[in-house]
Chains A and B, each alone.
Chain A
Amino acid sequence: MKNFRVIVALSLLVFVPSIALSEALSREQIKGLDEQVQDIKKDVLAISAELSLLEEKLLFPSNTQVSLFVSVAKNSQFIPDAVQIKIDDKSIAHHIYSFKELGALQNGGVQRIYTGNLKSGEHKLELSVVGRQNNGESQVEKGTFSISKKVGAKLVEIHLGSTETSLIEIKER
């Protein structure tokens, strides 16, 4: 029984718990496998980036490409819950925000909500945003805008909550 006490005392003094390491699994084995996992991550990431480029080139060539992004103003009192988007009376995207997604938007991240193709010319963009104010009061904001598609890829930023009077602001690029 006394031996037991000594063992406990020694094990408590060990700085990093080493229970996971058994004789059968050496640190080198764990490290080696970890490095192989890192290598495959690198390979798959490279494939993913190439696939994204291929997808863009193939499905959304720049002369017809249109991308819509959603951002939230810094320190905005408005918290979006869901967004619905129509282009030329056709529903093209809707999204309900999770807690994590909201946090990402509020920290300055931008969500690409839609990528598609549009002909050159003027188009009608209709937005419907459901959300709430910081005080819990729910709010629905709708807006209709005109966007102009030219030769190059069209980027449209839907900026939410920049002012109290107009919750939706459109920035064309």
Chain B
Amino acid sequence: MIVSTTITTATALTEEKDLYFSEGLYYAYQENYFDAISRLDAELGQYHGLDEPELNSLHQYINHAEFSVGDFELYYRMHKRAGRAIKSVIEGNVDDVTRNGAAYRLAKIYHQKQQPKDALQTIEGIKGKVPEKIKYDLELLKAQIYISNKKYTEAISLLEDIESVYEVLGFAGYNLAIAYVGNNQTEKGILQLDKVGQIISNDKAVLAIKDKANLVLGYKLMENEKPEKAKQYFERIRLDGPFSNKALLGLGWASASSDNYKKALVPWTMLSKRKVTTASVQEVLSGLPFAYGKLEAHGQAAVLYGNALESYSRELDKLDASISSVRKGAFLKAVVREEFNKDKNWLVNLRDLPETPETHYLMHLLASNDFQESLKNYFDLVQLDRKVASWDGYLDSYSEIINKRKNYYAPLLPKIQDQFRSIDSRMNLRVAQKQRVSNRLDNMLIAPRPDYLATADERIILNKIFILENVLKSKKNTSYPKLQTRIDYLKGVINWNIETEYQDRFITTHNNFKLLNEGFENLNAIYRSFIRTRQAATQSYIGYDSIIRQLKIRIRNADEKIKLLLARQGYMLEKMAVNSLQTQRKRIEELQIKSRFALAESYDRAVKAQQKEELEKLKSPPTDKEGEVK
């Protein structure tokens, strides 16, 4: 079931997947929901902490991710009211098919946990398209929930429509019979059971429900003292099906009730050879001699009662050993073994646990929803306990790493910081200078300033000329006109060059400025890299103490709670097992007492019969070989 649902999620994804979300799905597809939720939670936490989450690759899947984390919680049986799983199922911003698939599972959980009102509310909240695969299962579940809520009319209306649908064949019909009976339409209910009891199918599950319908009908007729009619229903039940023991027992009783004990011997003898751990076989062990007794075969009856008593005694010893073993914790120890967690058929395999032969006695208990849910909780707690135990070690390692980093970086960083400050101020100065040049160049585009682009030599020469001019002016000597002319000539040459080469010089300056910018970019990259490295070095050991301390406290608290819950859950499971074993013990004891009395009676009758026979032998005269009276 998990695969089909998660495939729905996966197919909705486009090619450019979010790797972390898909990692969550990877664990979910393996039914490792703890890791799936944990990874997805961490990813969602990071996503919600982003300044610009829309740039993150999770953004396009955020609705699916939010829904999935709740959906995985549902698979992880975290369906508490007002919990995230419920919220995501009810409010999930995903397509109808995905949401309704999850709502179906939630309703099923409520139904299995016998919370009919919650189940009804959830299933009635399903609107729109539903996954094609569960279309009829959903209808069937809805009808079952109606029955649990005593809404028989609604259930009947639903079930009548799907009774013949292949996907729910047998189950819809059987539930329809229950709904009829609940609705005080007993006759219709019986006819409906009869109909289910005649279904033709090769499907094992359908055949099982068919057998169940016949069995219920058979016993119902026995209850109404119609044993002859009951026989045909018992006879319809397969001899290798899960209800065959009860059917054989019932068939025997049907014959016995009609005083046809000889006929009762056939199914009962067959049943008596089956595994003695089942209630029907135990029952028949005293039923068989009861029939022989009725057939006046008291000797045979006494022997069989004797055998039954031996068998009961052995089974009682086994049950006592089992109860003691369960109380010592052997049962729990065996069921939490790793290999059972990995195998889907763990429940079936439990029967073959070598250390716990009593599991044969616990099959009914093991198959019950309460026990299975409790056992799953126990498995989950064991898993949590292992995880939490390993985390404490992680935190110790983290603390060690942090200390090592601190010891390494703490003495280095202040010196580096001093050097950095000096370089940083020089760099700021150069950045300001560059900015001034940049502004000047921008202004020169509007108002050309050739003088700004004079070369160093030109500036030196102009400066010298300026000095010479001043000297000439100070001497107030007009006798050197030639000198002034020469100075003007030189000035003219330089200014000519500056003015005429302005465009070329301006372009060259711009190009040089671009190169300077590149240099500054490199410088900034080094600067940023340094800042990041320094920050990374600082962050590699600062600010973790309180996080680690708090996590340690939380882990310790969680560990204590888990251990407590593990003990309570374990106690509950053991109590369920012991109660079940004790109930069966009590039943065997009752059979034992009855058999003891019956044995005594059979023995008396056998003795009396023997005495009578001997007496009659004595009374009658002996005969010779030819049969003549001597």
Q: How far is the CA of A104 from the CA of B39 in the complex (A)?
A: 16
In the complex, whether A47 has a CB less than 8 A from a CB of chain B is yes
Q: List A1-53 residues whose CB lies under 8 Å from chain B.
A: 1, 4-6, 8-9, 12-13, 15-22, 24-25, 27, 29-31, 33-53
The answer to whether A111 has its CB under 8 Å from any CB of chain B is yes
Known: A20-B365, A44-B387. A110 touches B7 (CB 8 A): no
Contact assessment for A16 and B369 in the assembled complex, using a CB-CB cutoff below 8 Å: yes
Answer whether residue B544 sits at the interface, using C-beta atoms and an 8 A cutoff.
yes
Shortest CB-to-CB span from B160 to chain A, Å, is 19
Whole-angstrom distance from the CB of A135 to the nearest CB of chain B?
24
Q: Is A109 an interface residue when CB atoms closer than 8 A count as contact?
A: yes
B464 in contact (CB, < 8 A): no
User: What is the CA–CA distance of A27 and B45 in the complex, to the nearest angstrom?
Assistant: 37
Q: A63 contacts the other chain (Cβ, under 8 Å)?
A: yes
A9-B26 contact in complex given A40-B562, A47-B391, C-beta closer than 8 Å: no
Q: With an 8 A cutoff between CB atoms, is A173 at the interface?
A: yes
Q: Could you tell me the distance between the alpha carbons of A29 and B576 in the complex, rounded to whole angstroms?
A: 12
Is the Cβ of B575 less than 8 Å from the Cβ of A22?
yes
Considering only residues 367-406 of chain B, those with a C-beta below 8 Å from chain A are: 367-371, 373-374, 377, 380-381, 384, 387-388, 391, 394, 398, 401-402
Interface string of B487-528 (1 = CB under 8 A from A): 000000000000000000000000000000000000000000
Smallest Cβ-Cβ distance to B559: which chain A residue: A44
Distance in angstroms between the alpha carbons of A53 and B48 in the assembled complex = 13
Residue from B113, B216, B398 in contact with A31 in the complex, judged by beta carbons closer than 8 Å: B113
B570 → A minimal CB distance (Å): 11
Q: Is the CB of A40 within 8 A of B558?
A: yes
Q: Are A54 and B365 in contact (CB under 8 A)?
A: no
| CB of B569 within 8 Å of the partner chain | yes
Given A33-B569, A49-B45, CB of A12 within 8 Å of CB of B215: yes
Are B10 and A107 in contact, with the CB atoms below 8 A? Answer: yes
Interface size class of A (residues with CB under 8 A): 35 or more
Per-position contact with B for A83-112: 1 when CB-CB < 8 Å, else 0? Answer: 000000000000000001101110111111
* Contact among A48, A55, A56 with B34 in the assembled complex (CB-CB below 8 Å): A48
Say yes or no: A33 contacts B3, CB within 8 Å.
Answer: no
Known: A4-B283, A109-B26. A9 touches B223 (CB 8 A): yes
A18: chain B residues at CB < 8 Å are 368
A69 at the interface (CB under 8 A from B): yes
Known: A20-B371, A22-B579, A53-B42. A104 touches B26 (CB 8 A): yes
CB-CB under 8 A from B250, the residues of chain A are: 5, 8
Q: How distant is the Cα of A41 from the Cα of B76 in the complex, in angstroms?
A: 9
Interface 9-mer from B16-24, B93-101, B426-434 = B16-24
A34 touching B377 by the CB < 8 A rule?
Answer: yes
The contact string, 1 if C-beta is below 8 Å from chain B, for chain A 70-84, is: 010000000000000
B200-208, B439-447, B532-540: which lies at the interface: B532-540
A58 contacts across to B, CB distance below 8 A: 398, 401-402, 540, 544
A100 to B250, CA, bound (A): 45
Determine if A108 and B25 form an interchain contact, defined as CB atoms under 8 angstroms apart: yes
Min distance, Cβ B120 to any Cβ of chain A, angstroms: 15
Within the complex, what minimum Cβ distance (angstroms) separates B430 from chain A?
24
The answer on a CB contact under 8 Å between A71 and B579 is: no
CA A69 – CA B113 in complex, angstroms?
39
User: Given contacts A8-B219, A51-B391, A155-B19, are A43 and B558 in contact (CB under 8 A)?
Assistant: yes
Q: Is the CB of B216 within 8 A of A20?
A: no
Task: List A contacts of B436 (CB < 8 A).
Answer: none
Tell yes or no: A61 within 8 A of B by CB: yes
Q: Which of A8, A13, A20, A48 has the most CB of B within 10 A?
A: A20
State whether the Cβ of B547 lies closer than 8 Å to any Cβ in chain A: yes
| Interface presence of A126 (CB below 8 A) | no
Given A5-B222, A20-B371, the answer on whether A54 and B23 have CB atoms closer than 8 Å is: no
**Is A50 touching B579 in the complex (CB atoms < 8 A)?**
no
Asked, given contacts A16-B114, A17-B367, A61-B540, whether A110 binds B30 with beta carbons under 8 Å apart, the answer is: no
Q: Check: A140 CB closer than 8 A to any chain B CB.
A: no
- Interface flag for B473 (CB, 8 Å): no
Q: Which residues of chain B are near A155, meaning CB under 8 Å? A: 19
Given contacts A30-B370, A58-B540, contact A48 B387 (CB under 8 A): yes
Evaluate whether A49 and B30 lie within 8 angstroms (CB atoms) in the complex, with A12-B212, A25-B575, A110-B17 already known: no
Minimal beta-carbon separation of A37 from chain B (angstroms): 5
Residues of A near B387 (CB, < 8 A) are 44, 48
Contacting residue for A40 out of B27, B565, B583, CB 8 A: B565
* Complex contacts, A40 vs chain B, CB 8 Å: 381, 384, 558, 561-562, 565
**CA of A13 to CA of B215 in the docked complex: distance in angstroms?**
10
Contacting pair B29 A61 (CB below 8 A)? no
Pick the contact of B380: A25, A37, A104 (CB < 8 A). Answer: A37
- Please indicate the chain B residues that have their CB under 8 angstroms from the CB of A41 in the complex: 34, 76, 78, 380, 384
Bound-complex Cα distance A5 to B547 (A): 65
- Return chain B residues, CB-CB under 8 Å to A63: 532-533, 536
Query: A71 with B22: in contact, given A19-B364, A33-B565 (CB under 8 Å)?
Result: yes
Instruction: Determine whether the beta carbon of B219 is less than 8 Å from that of A107.
Output: no
Docked complex Cα distance between A19 and B219 (Å): 19
> Which single residue of chain A is at the shortest CB-CB distance from B550?
A50
Given A100-B30, A151-B532; A37-B569 close (CB under 8 Å): yes
A19 to B579, CA, bound (A): 9
State whether A54 and B19 are in contact (beta carbons under 8 Å apart), knowing that A33-B572, A47-B554, A48-B38 are contacts in the complex.
Answer: no
Q: Do A173 and B57 touch (CB < 8 A)? A: yes
Chain B residue with Cβ nearest A101: B30
Residues in chain A near residue B384, CB distance under 8 A: 40-41, 44
Could you tell me the distance in whole angstroms from the C-beta of A154 to the nearest C-beta in chain B? 12
| B41 at the A interface (CB under 8 A) | yes
**Min C-beta distance of B629 to chain A, whole Å:** 47
Taking a contact as CB atoms under 8 Å apart, the answer to whether B38 and A52 are in contact is: yes
Which partner residue on chain B sits nearest A15 by CB separation?
A: B178
Q: Are A110 and B22 in contact (CB under 8 A)?
A: yes
Distance in angstroms from A33 CB to nearest chain B CB is 6
Taking A5-B223, A31-B113, A63-B532 as contacts, is the C-beta distance between A105 and B368 under 8 angstroms?
no
- What residues on B are CB-neighbors of A107 within 8 Å? 3, 6-7, 10, 25, 29
- How many angstroms between the C-alpha atoms of A110 and B324 in the bound complex? 48
Q: In the complex, what distance in Å separates the CA atom of A25 from the CA atom of B246?
A: 28
B348 to nearest A CB, angstroms?
17
B566-602 CB contacts (< 8 Å) to partner A: 568-569, 572, 575-576, 579-580, 583
Q: Is the CB of A45 within 8 A of B34?
A: yes
Closest 10 CB pairs of A and B: A109-B26, A108-B10, A9-B219, A104-B29, A110-B22, A22-B579, A20-B368, A49-B41, A20-B370, A48-B38
5 interchain pairs, CB-CB under 8 A: A1-B287, A19-B364, A30-B373, A50-B547, A58-B401
Inter-chain pairs besides A25-B576, A109-B30, 12 sampled, C-beta below 8 Å: A5-B250, A9-B223, A13-B181, A16-B369, A22-B580, A33-B572, A34-B113, A40-B565, A48-B41, A53-B45, A54-B544, A107-B25
